[in-house]
Structure formats: structure tokens, C-alpha cells
Amino acid sequence: MRYDRQIILPEIGEEGQKKLQEAKVLIVGVGGLGSPIALYLTGAGVGCLGLVDDDLVSITNLQRQVLYSEKELGKPKALCAAGRLSALNSGIRIYPYSTRLTKDNAYDIIQKYDIVVDGCDNFATRYLINDICIKQEKPYVYGAICGFEGQVSVFNYGNQKKNYRDLYPDEEEMQRMPPPPKGVMGVTPAIVGSVEATEVLKIICDFGDVLAGKLWTIDLRTLQSNKFSL
């Protein structure tokens, strides 16, 4: 009964729901992007979720990070997110990692999962995820936001095998760039994170056109949306 409304979709069906139940997805960062990603994958019945985040809940998070409440201020995001998601769907397994993804732990953590989803906010972590996903031959669902704008792509998937370095080839130059402005509308990560979650579901259930080798962008001020080939 829980999944009836998606099982009746021909793209999902009972076979697709079984694939969702068997899937293992790692979300790196459970903030603005990670909140909708985690909520919708949990609601859809993805059987195993890993949550990586070393941050604590702060009052400035609550404008957009809808996983959390005022009662959780000062507490570890990964643990709070795990509790919230378990309350939403007790039938899935959730593994919180209250740590930053680093060169020392990333290989072992990523190895446990089928797909990695980007909810982080820095170039170094994205290059790290990208390179390990290439080594382990795992899809990397990428997303990024700034202000009213966002973008999504899927790397290391299908015949394309495009990766993050095809989008941003000069790692040293990217690392030298100043941090992007922190201003963001709460709906921006909601929309971009939901698109990332959609790509994960498409990969697991094998339907639709996955954004492999393509970059989708949106500007919420105009609702102009584009899709580019990498």
C-alpha cells in the first residue's frame, strides 16, 4: 500500500519497486540539496541510504534544510537526518556518517553503495567523489546551486562515461576560486535536489533519459532551463 501510487506507473511497477528496495545509495551532504534528496529517496523506498555530513544543525540552516527542526540546533546533521528519515520510512536501512568525506575514508565508504549523490558544497569533495566513482565504476549524480540557479548532471554512467573533470577539467584553478556567495533561496536546493533524486530513481529503475553526458541548468528568476551536451 505504501508504494501503490508509484507501482502503478509502468516505468516503475513491481519490478522497479523491488530494484528500489535492493538499491544502496550514498548521499554526501545532508544540507540544502541533501534534504530533498534524502526525503524523496526515503519516501520512494530505496532500501539502504548512507548519509555523510560532519556539520551541526544551525539556525541559518532551517530556511532551506527541511530535514531539521529548531529542537535539533547544535546536534549532528547526519544523526538528526537519520532519525527523521527513519520516522518517515521504518522499512529502510539508514547509516549516518558524522564525518567529512576525505581521502582517508572515501574509498571504503563509497565502496558499500551502488550510487553516490552530491549534496555537498565544495570543489574538493566533488573531485574526490568523482575520482573514486571512476575507480569503482559507480554513477555519480552531481548537483550544485548558487542563489536562484542550479545544475545537475550524471557522471560515469552508461556509454557516455563523462565525469566531473569533463565539466571542470582544471582542478587547481577551481580550488583557487573564491567561495561562491552564500545567498540562496530555500526553493533552489528543493528543486535541484528533487531533480537529483529523480535521476537516482531513473538509474535504479532503468527508465527515461538519464542526464549522462549532459548538464541541466535552471534559473528560477526566469524559469529558463537548458540542457547541454558535455
For residue 122, what are the contacts with CB-CB under 8 A and spacing of at least 6?
Answer: none
As a whole number, the mean pLDDT across the chain is 96
* Angstrom distance (rounded) from CA 212 to CA 153: 7
The per-residue pLDDT for range 67-126, each reduced to its tens digit, is 999 999 999 999 999 999 999 999 999 999 999 999 999 999 999 999 999 999 899 999
Q: Find out whether 3 and 45 touch, Cβ atoms under 8 Å.
A: yes
- Best-predicted range by mean pLDDT (13-22, 151-160, 181-190): 13-22
pTM, two decimals, is 0.96
Stretch 204-217: mean pLDDT = 97
Which three cell numbers, joined as nine digits, stand for 219? 534559473
C-alpha grid cell for residue 202? 531513473
pLDDT in the model for residue 171? 86
pLDDT at 182: 82
Share of the chain above pLDDT 70, in %: 100
Contacts (Cβ under 8 Å, ≥6 apart) of 26:
49, 50, 52, 109, 110, 112, 113, 115, 116, 117
Which residue bears the cell 537516482? 200
- Write the pLDDT tens digit of every residue in 177-193: 887 778 999 999 999 99
